[in-house]
Structure 1
Amino acid sequence: MPNNSFIFIDKQSELEKAAEAMAACKVLCVDTEFHRESTYYPEFALLQIYGNGQCWIIDPIKLPDLKPVWDLMGNPDILKVFHAAHQDVEIILKESGNMPLPLFDTQVAAALLGYGQQVGFGNLVQRVTKKLLPKGESFTDWKARPLTPKQLTYAADDVIWLMPVFQHLQERLEATGRTSWLQEEQTRLSDKNTYDNDESEIFWRVKGGSKLKGKHLSALRELAAWRERGAKSRNIPRRRMMADEPLVEIARRDTLSRETMQRMRGINDGFIKRFGAEVTAAWQKGIEASEDTWPKMAPRRHNTRGTDLRLEMLDTLVRLKAEEGEIASAILANKSDLSELASWGYRCKGDTPELACLHGWRYELVGHDLIRLLRGEICLHINPQTGFPEITPITQNSAT
């Protein structure tokens, strides 16, 4: 069982001593506590690390210089373990400039082993170790000082119980030959560029933007980039800079004036006085951009004869493969990808679509058979003895 004790560190000398002990670990379980409700960048409030039976809770508010620990995060000889790593890695990268590599994300590993695509940490701990973690501090104020014993215990549990979960998942990945799958899935997490929002691409995430096209989508691109720069420079949430709804409303206009903006909900006179000229300039840049620079939406595939039936067959095959492999079906192939594949499968001509399920380990597990099913090389049937669906190759004799 894990050691539930921890050392709270808020002095530089204690941090340096702890870093020496951490440097002797081959594996460090890492977690952070932060707030992001009122800022663009996360407000870093606590750092928890566990290794070799010891837990350290580090106070970054009292200790602004965490270089001894940040150096360890960049040590390639120490494996850093996280659960749902993205935001923790984002904080470490921003604070230290180091990517915590190599890393192991237990949420990703769990998805590859049938625990669900985005299983929560408490749920995973309970299923692996039978330990029920308390939830009382889920919405606590981590910036408040002093931290209470309950807060510290809750924070410590997040890394103390991460170790047995990691060990269990690592053993299962090795036993099932899926360790390489994890590395493939973590490629994006391990890429520094993942944590730098591309201003020119952020418009794809604007709610309601998919309704626009052509020059109006071009305007949205420029407006979203303007908002992103403003939110970053002021360290405020995007919605505080400007909400999605008025952003889309402005982008869809063929003409724009101060009076037009005054009639829009979500835009007041103070905003127009301060930012009206900038918004107009961004909108105009997008509207007047040459057609060859307009954002290109992914082409929609026309519904073809039998597409719905093919989609049902493809989905059945995916669920069958997921059950055989004890893996969540959603991580093998999502409905959007299957729908595109079903449409392509009307004639199976031309290059196969660029879909995740047709690459890497997914192709080996299910993608190859999806193509074979569409081409009539295999079939699905019910085994009369078991009552379960099975996959059978179609030979020339069986076809006739």
Structure 2
Amino acid sequence: MSESTFQFINTPSQLEKACIEISKCRVLCIDTEFHRESTYYAEFALLQVYGNNQCWIIDPIELPDLAPFWDIMANPDILKVFHAGRQDVEIVVKESGIMPLPIFDTQVAAALLGYGQQVGFGNLVQRITKRELAKGESFSDWKARPLRAKQLEYAADDVIWLMPIYQHLKERLEALGRLKWLDEEQATLCDPSTYEIDEDNVFWRVKGSNRLKGRQLAVLRSLSAWREQQAQRNNIPRRRMIGDEQLLEIARRDKLTLDGMSRMRGVNPGFVKRHGETILNVWQAGVDAPEESWPKLPSRRHNTKGTELRLEMLDTLVRLKAEEGEIASTILASKSDLSELASWGYRCKGEPPEVACLHGWRHELVGHDLLRLLRGEICLHLNPNTGLPVITDFSANEAS
């Protein structure tokens, strides 16, 4: 493995030559550096690419037109490897208008192999290759030019070492028959709609939205959509327009006036002067929304007799299956999913709740047995020799 050797690309002729070589690769490791602290959209500052034992660092500030590279990213015969690639893919989609398919996300793959649900890249490199990557440039100003040698070496390492990580994880997924699991887990990452802004539903992201109901949620929906539009138009973070706490407070009001708004903590006079009348109109539109259009919070099941005991049994089964499959139990089934199942399991009537652990590979690995446990078809007990929980299958005993 070469030590941070790369070509720095910042002229059109260099880019053209580099893309000739990049296009020959069948697997490309991709990373980006960006800033998002003071803008709505990520400020694209650096692009790192590795393939066929070569590394290229491309400067999108000096080279705003990366069309030759985006053509390569559109090639379905080239696999694009990312680590925790959601924001990297978002940048590619915004800059080029294309989805860089197919994708292999090493963070997702690692989660399916027992490395933890959101393992960091440096941690993964250390565990798999025993190499400890430098951390000193994590908070660099990637927009500043010229870039320092240490910055470029740090950036190169992010893709140079991504290749052996990808190769190791792919081999293990293949050996365990889990490549199809990866496709399921990456479905959202690979869906173009993931990168489209749904203004009508951004209100669910407002911290505390689950404390509102009925008309208040309708008002919050109107306010949040307006804030999203303004943040995009001005390319500033949502909170810079108006904070979540203030949106919630306005949504709760039975009556709203400019004077009342100006007296709210966290709402400055300049905001009221510029946007106050518009906010009043947006608030009123939410108030006037017909009742049948009001957003509804997801229904919650109430605790029933024995729910907590059932929850403990379900959780034990999940941990047993996780240990058998060498995978983190939190990836198999979330606590909220198990709570839904535990509540439904009081009578086991009707269809089971719509929870992730009852679908796809999770159903195969653990979901089917969770339902069987609730229906009394299998049980958990302690092995007297080991003191560990084991599963007894009643249907197997009856068949024999």
TM-score normalized by the length of structure 2: 0.98
Matching residue's letter, 1:189: L
Secondary structure in 2 matching 1:309: helix
- 2:100 is the counterpart of 1:100: yes
Matching residue's letter, 2:276: G
Q: CA RMSD in A?
A: 1.0
Distance 1:12 1:395 in 2: 69
Matching residue's letter, 1:111: A
TM-score normalized by the length of structure 1: 0.98
Distance 1:296 1:21 in 2: 53
> How far is the alpha carbon of 1:345 from its aligned partner?
0.5
> How far is the alpha carbon of 1:397 from its aligned partner?
7.5
Secondary structure in 1 matching 2:75: coil
- 2:271 is the counterpart of 1:281: no
Secondary structure in 1 matching 2:37: coil
4+ aligned runs moved over 4 Å, structure 1? 395-398
Matching residue's letter, 1:145: R
- 2:195 is the counterpart of 1:195: yes
> Deviations along 1:77-124, whole A, 9 cap, x unmatched?
000000001000000000011111000000000000000000000000
Secondary structure in 1 matching 2:64: coil
> Deviations along 1:315-340, whole A, 9 cap, x unmatched?
01111100100001111100011101
Q: Note if contact 1:2-1:161 (Cα within 8 Å) is conserved in structure 2.
A: no
Distance 1:133 1:249 in 2: 46
> How far is the alpha carbon of 1:3 from its aligned partner?
5.5
Distance 1:157 1:278 in 2: 49
- The residue that corresponds to 1:210 in the other structure is 210
- 2:115 is the counterpart of 1:115: yes
Distance 1:73 1:88 in 2: 12
- 2:187 is the counterpart of 1:183: no
Percentage of pairs with the same residue: 71
- The residue that corresponds to 1:166 in the other structure is 166
- The residue that corresponds to 1:381 in the other structure is 381
- The residue that corresponds to 1:368 in the other structure is 368
Residue range with higher mean Cα deviation, 105-114 or 297-306: 297-306
Alignment of 1:316-395 (within 5 A): 316-395=316-395
Secondary structure in 1 matching 2:104: strand
Alignment of 1:1-400 (within 5 A): 1-2=1-2, 4-395=4-395
Distance 1:187 1:150 in 2: 36
Distance 1:61 1:109 in 2: 32
> How far is the alpha carbon of 1:395 from its aligned partner?
4.4
Number of aligned pairs?
398
> Deviations along 1:291-325, whole A, 9 cap, x unmatched?
10000111121111100000000001111100100
Stretches of structure 1 lacking an aligned partner (at least 5 in a row): none
Distance 1:68 1:386 in 2: 62
Q: Note if contact 1:3-1:54 (Cα within 8 Å) is conserved in structure 2.
A: no
Distance 1:76 1:187 in 2: 16
Structure-2 change in CA distance of 1:396 and 1:359 (3 Å): closer
> Deviations along 1:179-209, whole A, 9 cap, x unmatched?
0000011111001110112101110010111
